[in-house]
Structure 1
Amino acid sequence: MASRRINRITRFNVTALALGFAFLYLPIVILVIYSFNDSRLVTVWGGWSLRWYREFFNDRAMLDAAWMSLRVAAVSATIATILGTLAAVALTRGERFGGRMLFSGMLYAPLVMPEVISGLSLLLLFVALDAGRGFWTVTIAHTTLTMCFVTVVVQSRLGQIDRSLEEAAMDLGCNPAQAFLSVTLPLIIPSIAAGWMLAFTLSLDDVVIASFTTGPGSATLPIRIYSEVRLGVKPEINAICTMVIALIAIVITAASFASRLSRVQGESAAPL
């Protein structure tokens, strides 16, 4: 009886859920709808049209910024995935190495560090090194930001894998590296893919850190959108944001499927 009472759908629960979803997603829905508005005024509906999508593809500055964002996100996500996976392996397989606590603390610092502080610190580093700000400075900054997220995802998956699988492979003649590559790596591939997609998404929509580390001619799409919005919201911005939302939704969906696949593989590889 108690479980039935807990699981019962009440009018209050439905109302609270509806208000919560409206608070989170109603502004996004309005933005998407008005991206198809034919009117030049963003608050006046003028009929359905793809006019502002065509405007975006004819806007050379916006296209360059979008291409810059995609390149930075892809490269930084790839580097962050490699480094984050290696860090997760070190933390999971090397529980007793010296300095583990310091290493993990420094690795997870970006999770709790305000982005303003991280961006300013990276800016001071690049200035001290006399490095010209551009594609690579933004990429390094985003790698620093996203690597810890990849480590968390991969480390949680590694912690679920039975170590006896690797031990059995080594008993059959594999060295530790071969056992990891042939047994463990295939099991964590979905979590690595999920970490890459998470890093890609975080890099794609970052504004704060990119604003500190970018330079002339290397503005990312979020920075370009922010600079345009400060002068007034144009209908073209709605179209751009709608495409970014669609891209991020696709990436998040793919990451969710990868995480689910990783969890299923973990359950099948778990000891009975």
Structure 2
Amino acid sequence: MSQQPPAQQQSHPGETGQMQPRPRDEMADYTGRDLLADKKALVSGGDSGIGRAVCAAFAKEGADVAIGYLSEDSDAEHTAELVRRQNRRSLQIRGDVADEQHCHDMVDKTVREFGRIDVLVVHAATQEPVSDFTELSTEQLRRTYEVNVFGAFWTVRAAAPHLAPDASIVITGSVNGLRGNKTLIDYATSKAAVHNLTYSLAQHYMQDGIRVNCVAPGPVWTPLIPSTLGEEKVEGFGEQAPMGRAADPDEIAPSYVFFASNRLSSYYTGEVLAPTGGEIQAG
């Protein structure tokens, strides 16, 4: 981001059009190399932010893309149009991954449309900060885990029978899952859980030739930020990173292309890639 965001706030789940500045999330200057030629991808949380950039990049690499999203119809339609501009098929699937049945339906609709799933990106997530741990309600804790952990589990489990023999699963983690966060305690621990889910699934599916990896970004300027953080946290968002700024989604999406492409990452499974703007992680 060349411009630090000013104070702003939206109702959850947020819309890209209301953000100032607008994030770079369309991979406009990205040139594909057929790394995913004729692949079929499902991206949960694909309507905006990192998910949108991933969908656009996958389409430029030759993939058809199913876009799972919560309720942001206009953002999802814009992302679908980015896919169609590359002469690739798109499919929009509306619903909440906190609902187990929806996770199954999302997979089933993708398979009916595309025939199989070569790349599964489990990206949908939610967060809500609290200033005091005792304010973290059971309802919020349950909601965070249902979306971020159960939703990931249910989606992978539903997709497993439909995955191609050389399929790739990419789960979105977070730098907060690597080092914690004092005001995003439920979110940070949920992301630590999906990091371990990555390790465990990678071992489980090794013999089947299915690779499972994780991208754990640092601060990224997406609609989730102004729709979940207070104005004082949004202003200057990301300046705590060593690079002094948040990333745009376009800067994170190539990590997903890397893991999705067997040509690039055939020897990678059980890895957590952390594009964090220079924050060094131990281990």
TM-score using structure 1 length: 0.25
TM-score (norm 2): 0.24
Structure (1 or 2) with the larger CA radius of gyration: 1
Structure 1 or 2: more helix by fraction? 1
Relative contact order (alpha carbons < 8 A, sep ≥ 6): 1 or 2 greater?
Answer: 1
